[in-house]
Amino acid sequence: MNNLKFLLQSAQMISLKNLLFIACLVIPGALSAQTAEMDMFIQEMATQHGFDPTYVTNILQQTKLKKSILKVMNRSSGKGKGTPWYQYQRNFLTELRIDQGVEFWRTHAATLQRAERDYGVPAEIILGIMGVETSYGRNMGTFRVVDALFTLAFHYQRRADYFRSELKEFLILAREQRFDPLEPVGSYAGAMGLGQFMPSSYRDYVVDFNHDGHRNIWDAEDAIGSVANYLKNYAKGGAGWQIEKPALQAAKVRSGTVDSLLALRFNLTSIKQLKDMGLQLATDRYDAEPAIVVELETEQGTFYWAGLNNFYMLTRYNNSNRYAMAVYQLAQRIKNRYETE
């Protein structure tokens, strides 16, 4: 790491085209490739996005490699189904988190009502996401965003391209929003604020819902509007949130067809097509609707659902059926308690 700091400091005094040459002399091993990648990143930020290369070099010089992040990422990328749903569920569907959601609803009732009116996303769904993501702002992460993105962009090859793109988006975002990129704190993956937006989603979907001239995902009002805006307008695959439509339909699976149905993963297919493949529903009402197959392991055995467009939209926030189900069930329990108290 000392060699890397030397190289970054040197970049302020020499032309960028010589940076790789020095890297090969000083650290002719694995760091040479990483230095070349950083060199290309600096040049891209300068030529494509108008950044001063000295400024970008200085930011990278002040970042820190977080080995704890790499340990978490390597562990989470391991093969296998991971934590069973019934254990995963216990982490989020707690009495405390439900009470916190009700309290947050009472405090921000007018803002949630306005978000529901403007974007057509139910208040409880917004609360479900914020509850699962950060316990309504109580746990928004402890890593500097720039450290997380730097670590994953240049030291985590499995998804380096994605995180390098997010680091680029983060620096552009900092310039647009006029904040110091060394200051924001977030998750180990670089997500920020009450709704845990990645930089690209921040730029695309965060809104100034309190009309103060800033898009601030750490502000409750802006976060509420931004989560609703994301669910309504995210366009990759789904149709955006449809308030008049259900999210789930209980289902069964015909013997011998489970593997082919699950192989579809998060590819939306009409329920009629899923039925032809072996999915069994008690109604024909939603046959024309797009859906995914949801399989979750409970203590009573494995259960199946047809996850319609709205459920699919929750998986676009986090690519996991367990996550989407936790959000959905937490949302329903918060709503029930809010309306009965």
Phi first, then psi, for residue 189 (nearest 5°) are -100, 0
Closest CA to 8 of 48, 53, 60, 43: 60
Q: What pLDDT digit, counting tens, does each position of 182-199 carry?
A: 999 999 999 999 999 999
- Determine if the pTM surpasses 0.85: yes
Percent of the chain, pLDDT > 70?
89
Instruction: Identify any residues that bridge with 248 across adjacent strands, giving them in sequence order.
Output: 307
So where are the chain's domains?
1-62
Let me know: does 279 contact 271? Beta carbons within 8 Å: yes
Q: Mark residue 114 as left, alpha or beta (left: phi above 0; alpha: psi -120 to 50; beta: remaining).
A: alpha
**Gap between the Cα atoms of 186 and 144, Å rounded:** 6
- Lookup: tokens for 230: 């994301």
Closest CA to 129 of 9, 232, 4, 13: 232
Q: Decide if 133 is catalytic.
A: yes
Catalytic hit among 133, 166, 169, 221: 133
User: Residue 133: its pLDDT value, please?
Assistant: 98
Q: What pLDDT digit, counting tens, does each position of 29-54 carry?
A: 445 678 889 999 999 999 999 999 99
Instruction: Identify any residues that bridge with 306 across adjacent strands, giving them in sequence order.
Output: 249, 293
